[in-house]
Amino acid sequence: MRVAVYYNNNDVRLEEMPVPSIGRDELLVRVEASGICGSDVMEWYRIMRAPLVLGHEIAGTIAEVGDNVSKYKVGDRVFVSHHVPCNTCRYCKAGHHTVCDTLRSTNFDPGGFAEYLRVPAINLESGVFLLPEGMSNDQGVFIEPLACVYRGQRAAGIKPGQDVLIIGSGITGLLHIKLAAALGAGSIFATDINKYRLDMAGKSGAHVIDAADDVSKRLQELNDGRLADVVIICTGAMPAIEQALKSVERGGTVLFFASPEPGVDVSLPVFDLWKNEVTIVNTYGASPGDISEAIGLIHTGRVEVEDMITHRFGLADTGKGFILVAGAGESMKVIIEPQK
């Protein structure tokens, strides 16, 4: 089969690899669509393991079923989670599924930028989800990123009527805008340094603020003198983090949805945070429960996702998609279609 192998953001090669053989408790999935995630182009996060086949935002069709598998059949359309928790350890029992050792060591084989992938038995138990009737493969690509966003907003505890500020209007920023609106947030604001992304944020329902401006001052001008009850950081850029900490209202919450590179420390104004009872939270990844919620939000139309798709490529042009996403220019969600 054909696979797109990542060496770095500017070097993604079309290569051949055997179709994975499956065991008695496993599945073989034909990948129909696979999204390029922002984390796929974070070289500091990926390059140490290169070369490898990336891709974890997938929708596919079951092509082969192991002898012991009865829950699924050939032809079923599915989303498959690449990381799955054990659901039994102390972290899982406390609701912190995404720090589970099992979750951090599981994956499917080889990755979503391939014609086929093998679903290991452990992923089969809690990482395979049937796509509802009427859900497109394109919509299926958004299940994983929306699940991560849902987990973040759940941790931030957004309440109906609260004002929300999203720092960074890439694909996760747009998903945060759309989900906050679906959950009943009050006024929603979004920042970016890129005009294209600001325009996309505006079309998604946010009041936009150029990140080159004094964000907290501009926010107050637009929001009757108030700052934001919830601030969501969707970029690891240090100026954005500083803006976020200055833009949260008393009694509010700051969600670190994105992170700087390892080794980069962030100075916190602890006295101000303490005095103003500001809560700092952060989330990583998504649990099976978050994935189920994301599927429902997309399927019912509460969160529209297909309007964020800007590019589609066949597998041979995966490298072009990586360059687009890494360049953070005039693109949003880039989808690879491995069967083309």
Question: Residue 296: inside a domain, yes or no?
Answer: no
* CATH number of the domain enclosing 96: 3.90.180.10
pLDDT tens-digit profile of 202-236?
999 999 999 999 999 999 999 999 999 999 999 99
Residues 126 and 173 in one domain: no
Who's near 222: CB < 8 A, 6+ residues apart?
A: 187, 189, 207, 209
pLDDT tens-digit profile of 267-309?
999 999 999 999 999 999 999 999 999 999 999 999 999 999 9
Residues 244 and 132 in one domain: no
Residues 240 and 204 in one domain: yes
Residues 136 and 34 in one domain: yes
Alpha helices in 204-332 (DSSP H): 215-222, 238-246, 270-275, 288-299, 318-327
Using CB atoms within 10 Å of the CB of residue 132, give its burial: 0 to 12 exposed, 13 to 18 middle, 19+ buried: middle
Residue 154: both structure tokens together: 């759940």
Residues 131 and 156 in one domain: no
| pLDDT given for residue 246 in this prediction | 97
Region 15-28: mean pLDDT is 98
**pTM for this one?**
0.96
Residues 181 and 274 in one domain: yes
- Name the residue range of residue 86's domain: 2-142+305-337
Residues 94 and 14 in one domain: yes
Among candidates 62, 79, 133, 56, which has minimal Cα distance to 299? 133
Residues 92 and 199 in one domain: no
> 328: alpha, beta or left, given left = phi > 0 and alpha = psi -120 to 50?
left
Question: Residue 292: inside a domain, yes or no?
Answer: no
User: What is the β-pairing status of strands 309-314 and 333-337?
Assistant: parallel
Total domain count for the chain? Answer: 2
Whether 155 and 255 have beta carbons less than 8 Å apart is answered as yes
Question: Residue 75: inside a domain, yes or no?
Answer: yes
Among candidates 213, 275, 266, which has minimal Cα distance to 248? 275
Who's near 213: CB < 8 A, 6+ residues apart?
A: none
Rg over CA atoms, the chain? 20
Residue 121 CA to chain centroid, in angstroms? 24
pLDDT tens-digit profile of 61-90?
999 999 999 999 999 999 999 999 999 999
Residues 62 and 105 in one domain: yes
Residues 135 and 246 in one domain: no
Question: Residue 30: inside a domain, yes or no?
Answer: yes
* CATH number of the domain enclosing 272: 3.40.50.720
Q: What is the amino acid identity at position 336?
A: I
Residues 107 and 208 in one domain: no
- End-to-end alpha-carbon separation of the chain, Å? 12
